[in-house]
């Protein structure tokens, strides 16, 4: 199955198109990309960003859609009005499910959506989405509401749905007893998914959630199952985050070798025990 990420480039490879390709690959999907912007950043600092031209964004999307059968699309960093308008006109007549991940600011404080592009983001991209995946601060920004409880999150999800997003997931919301709750609103019904809270900040965790959600939707799984699986994938990746550079840890999937090593280590004592009998 093939999935397309329309997003910005992150040279630290924790988030953006590089992060998405890693998640798509780890989950067995073939990942395609259309780059909307270049950023320069590392695990400590955000330096610069520069949008790709509308012409090249349009051409990348067309070149991919005219060749590959795309099963789902993820939209990440869109940066400015021209980019949003280009993506909207290229995708508005498609029947492919779109996961819209609102990307407003990087963990290190970089601006990833210009303030003057915010109304086009709401007006043009939200109604295209099959599901939108804001975290709590992003949901607050979209709705202008304060979210302090699960009830507040439910009200915000209903408002986001009324603004055009078909389904809504508010990530990492209400924290209680050391748990984080992701809230899904699908067809006017709420579902909650709770997970242990990891006391660490890492770069790329949010991108992993929406990329994993996109792959599971592409696989034809229900939105409830896709949300639950995406939560597990992002939890495991944050747990496995490593300090690759000098700043924030970078969330990452365990690769097959590590899993094999761990299995071998776990199996070894059992095997030795067996031979001693």
Residues within the interface to ligand PXL (CB under 6 A):
7-8, 10, 15-16, 39, 41, 76-77, 103, 106-107, 112, 204, 206-207
Contact 119, 234 (CB under 8 A): no
Distance of CA 176 to the CA centre of its chain: 23
Q: Which is nearer to ligand PXL, 112 or 223 (CB)?
A: 112
DSSP state, residue 29 = P
Contact 12, 203 (CB under 8 A): yes
Residue among 191, 188, 185 at smallest CA distance from 132: 185
Q: What is the dihedral of CA 37, 137, 212, 90, to 10 degrees?
A: -40
Q: How far is the CB of 88 from ligand PXL (least distance, A)?
A: 19
Q: Which is nearer to ligand PXL, 39 or 161 (CB)?
A: 39
Q: How far is the CB of 16 from ligand PXL (least distance, A)?
A: 3
Q: How many CA atoms lie within 13 A of 69 on its CB side?
A: 3
Q: How far is the CB of 77 from ligand PXL (least distance, A)?
A: 4
Q: Which is nearer to ligand PXL, 10 or 120 (CB)?
A: 10
Q: How far is the CB of 126 from ligand PXL (least distance, A)?
A: 18
For the chain, how are helix, strand and coil distributed in percent, rounded to 5?
Answer: 45, 25, 30
Q: Which is nearer to ligand PXL, 8 or 31 (CB)?
A: 8
Q: Where are the alpha helices (DSSP H) in 92-149?
A: 118-120, 136-143
Q: Which is nearer to ligand PXL, 77 or 214 (CB)?
A: 77
Q: How far is the CB of 171 from ligand PXL (least distance, A)?
A: 12
Contact 224, 39 (CB under 8 A): no
Q: How far is the CB of 13 from ligand PXL (least distance, A)?
A: 10
The Cα 223–Cα 217 span in angstroms is 7
Q: How far is the CB of 267 from ligand PXL (least distance, A)?
A: 37
The Cα 133–Cα 102 span in angstroms is 7
The Cα 37–Cα 35 span in angstroms is 6
Q: Please report which helix (H) or strand (E) contains residue 175, including its range.
A: strand 175-176
Radius of gyration, alpha carbons of the chain:
19
Q: How far is the CB of 101 from ligand PXL (least distance, A)?
A: 8
Q: Which is nearer to ligand PXL, 52 or 160 (CB)?
A: 52
């Amino acid at each position: 199955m093939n999935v397309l990420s329309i997003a910005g480039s992150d040279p630290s490879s924790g988030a953006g198109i590089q992060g998405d390709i890693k998640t798509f690959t780890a989950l067995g999907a073939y990942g395609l990309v259309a780059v909307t912007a270049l950023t320069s950043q590392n695990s400590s600092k955000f330096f610069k960003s520069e949008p790709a031209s509308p012409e090249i964004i349009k051409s990348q999307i067309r070149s991919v859609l005219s060749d590959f059968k795309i099963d789902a699309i993820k939209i990440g960093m869109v940066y400015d009005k021209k980019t949003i308008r280009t993506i909207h006109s290229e995708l508005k007549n498609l029947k492919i499910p779109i996961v819209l991940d609102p990307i407003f600011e990087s963990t290190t404080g970089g601006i990833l959506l210009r303030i003057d592009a915010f109304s086009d983001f709401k007006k043009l991209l939200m109604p295209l989405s099959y599901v939108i995946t804001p975290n709590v601060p992003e949901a607050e920004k979209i709705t202008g509401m304060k979210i302090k409880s699960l009830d507040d999150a439910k009200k915000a999800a209903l408002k986001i749905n009324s603004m055009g997003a078909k389904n809504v997931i508010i990530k990492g919301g209400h924290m209680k007893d050391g748990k984080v709750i992701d809230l899904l609103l699908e067809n006017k019904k709420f579902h909650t998914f709770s997970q242990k809270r990891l006391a660490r900040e890492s770069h790329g965790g949010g991108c992993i959630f929406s990329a994993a959600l996109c792959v599971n939707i592409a696989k034809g799984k229900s939105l409830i199952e896709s949300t639950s699986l995406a939560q597990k994938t992002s939890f495991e990746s944050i747990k496995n985050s490593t300090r690759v550079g000098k700043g924030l840890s970078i969330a990452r999937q365990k690769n097959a070798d590590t899993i094999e090593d761990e299995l071998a280590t776990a199996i070894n004592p059992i095997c030795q025990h067996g031979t001693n009998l």
